Amino acid sequence: MENIKYSGILLHPTSLPGNNGIGELGKESYRFVDFLAETHTKFWQTLPLGPTGYGDSPYAPRSTFAGNELLISLDLLIEQSFISEKDLNNKPIFNKGKINFGTLINWKIPILFKAAENFLKKENKDFEEFIKINSFFLDDYSMFMVLSRKYNDQRWFSVWDKKYANREENALKTLRTQESTKLKIWCVLQYFFFSQWMRLKKYANDKGIQIIGDIPIFVSSDSCDTWSNPSLFNLDSEGNFSTVSGCPPDCFCPTGQLWGNPTYNWEKMKKNKYSWWIKRISEVAKTCDILRIDHFRGFESYWSIKAGSLNAVDGIWEKGPGYSLFKQIKKEIPNIKIIAEDLGFITDKVEKLLKETNYPGMRIQIFGYEKINGKFNLSNNYLPKNYPYNTVAYTGTHDNQTLVGWFNTQDEEFKNLLLKYYNTNENKIFDCILLDLFSSNAKYTIIPIQDLLKLDDKARMNTPSTCSDHNWTWRLEKDQLNQKISKFLTFLNEKSKRNF
């Protein structure tokens, strides 16, 4: 029997078009699902859906369990009469192609608060049930957000009063009493988010579209997760984070990458049968059909750097949990589907772990064109012709240049070699590259929407190890998903016999 193959589009919901400064879970998200269905595309991949903090990165959320309140559709709240059109009268002039998170937050959060206040004026049994089911994270998250605003979004472990930072029970009890309304509001916003997202997911599933979600391996140091569960991380004698994560130096970054996320106390987690991880995976998996785990190689071993270091040069490799974690996941969540982001410095031990789990790994097409002595290395594992079936193939990820941006930064010799490889000219080169990817043996082919639209690096989603205000801000404009693009994506699917 011939292997069945599928395709999908990578587009984070924040990048959807719309009039409210950021992509939302309203009509444009449904329109995008319709676009996928019309082009016979079966998967929509997102980045992590958690609420973002400093730097606006979805890979450094305030909570691993909560949803991003900024994605809540104001139009849907208007339809439900929780706010009115008048509440949007003082809307800033937003750049349609880029998110300004500072302006957005100052304008949108008060409107969401008003919607939540109006929602609370009437009894709602679904909401009370939602609180009951999700109390395991709502109690802590709502307190964390109230305290974050009290301290102007400054870090809990360095600025908050010790009684709050150390979670003294009397202080938290008083907070629950004095700020009960604000705490309830943050719970309502989570109810809004998950109600809208799960309704959208059902719409997609009913159309034959599956959602590929994403979960970072680490959590943000300034997050509800570290505040409510400090013992899960490596701490020094004074209770401070002792080591942080990153990547070792390489040819792209001579000082390495200093991510700054606290590292896990894997020994303690193993004794608890990885209960926090099991809960984390199972809850995030409810929001998607397949779950991509970021930085999979870190579960075999991870780059550990002493807290307070200025760069990642002097880190060391520490052992991760290995297969024992995934054995527990398979035991407790047997039907979950997982994709392993197995990029970076991959060793034989990482490959062994991937084989043990049998999760599909990833291939990045632009990594495949390796020039050696004036020719491409045809045995490069990232060339589409070399992909095994149990693979998810991409032109690039959210961290890479766009396909056009990558091509534009190559020298003339490389460009000519690529044109010769595909026996084409510059006008057709991107069509050839995409068709080559779609025609590979990989079970899944996922391309960023920017590459389908053939956009240059102005549309790049993120540049790692930078704090550019360009990161995470790109947005799709409404007229970009036109009939021409629809026909082209349909052609790619039909020609490569994906989703048929």
pLDDT digits (tens, 9 = 90+) for 374-397: 899 999 999 999 999 999 999 999
Q: What is the CATH number of the domain that holds 135?
A: 3.20.20.80
Tell me if residue 169 is catalytic: no
> 34 is in which domain, residue-wise?
6-495
Dihedral angle over CA of 21, 27, 32, 35, nearest 10: -140
Tell me if residue 294 is catalytic: yes
Does residue 194 lie in a domain region?
yes
Mean pLDDT, range 108-119, rounded to an integer: 98
Q: Which is catalytic among the residues 399, 431, 456, 494?
A: 399
Residue 1 in this model has a pLDDT that exceeds 60 = no
Mean pLDDT, range 166-181, rounded to an integer: 98
Residue 241 in this model has a pLDDT that exceeds 90 = yes
pLDDT tens-digit series, residues 54-71: 899 999 999 999 999 999
Does residue 107 lie in a domain region?
yes
CA distances from 299 to 295, 324, 380 (A): 8, 10, 25
pLDDT tens-digit series, residues 406-448: 999 999 999 999 999 999 999 999 999 999 999 999 999 999 9
Pairing outcome for strands 391-394 and 361-364? parallel
Does residue 364 lie in a domain region?
yes
Query: Which is more confident, 106 or 467?
Result: 106
Confidence of residue 345 (pLDDT cuts 50, 70, 90): confident
> Would you call 189 helix, strand, or coil by DSSP?
helix
Residue 451 in this model has a pLDDT that exceeds 60 = yes
**Average pLDDT, rounded, for the chain:** 96
The total domain count for the chain is: 1
Q: Which is catalytic among the residues 56, 140, 225, 341?
A: 341
Tell me if residue 399 is catalytic: yes
CB within 8 Å of 5: residues ≥ 6 apart:
441, 442, 443, 444, 445, 496, 497, 498, 499
Distance separating alpha carbons of residues 168 and 172, to the nearest angstrom: 6
- The pLDDT, as a whole number, for residue 465 is 76
Does residue 1 lie in a domain region?
no
% of residues, the chain, pLDDT over 70: 99
CB 194 within 8 A of CB 130: yes
Confidence of residue 342 (pLDDT cuts 50, 70, 90): very high
Find where tokens 């709240």 sit. 77
Mean pLDDT, range 239-244, rounded to an integer: 92
Does residue 98 lie in a domain region?
yes
Q: Which is catalytic among the residues 24, 28, 225, 294?
A: 294
pTM of the model: 0.97
Confidence of residue 252 (pLDDT cuts 50, 70, 90): low
Dihedral angle over CA of 470, 105, 53, 151, nearest 10: 140
Q: Which two tokens stand for residue 126?
A: 């679904």
Distance separating alpha carbons of residues 110 and 114, to the nearest angstrom: 6
Query: What are the φ/ψ torsions at residue 115 (nearest 5 degrees)?
Result: -60, -40
> Would you call 447 helix, strand, or coil by DSSP?
strand
Name the residue among 444, 440, 219 with its Cα closest to residue 341. 444
Name the residue among 218, 296, 210 with its Cα closest to residue 258. 218
- Residues forming a β-bridge with 316: 304
Does residue 500 lie in a domain region?
no
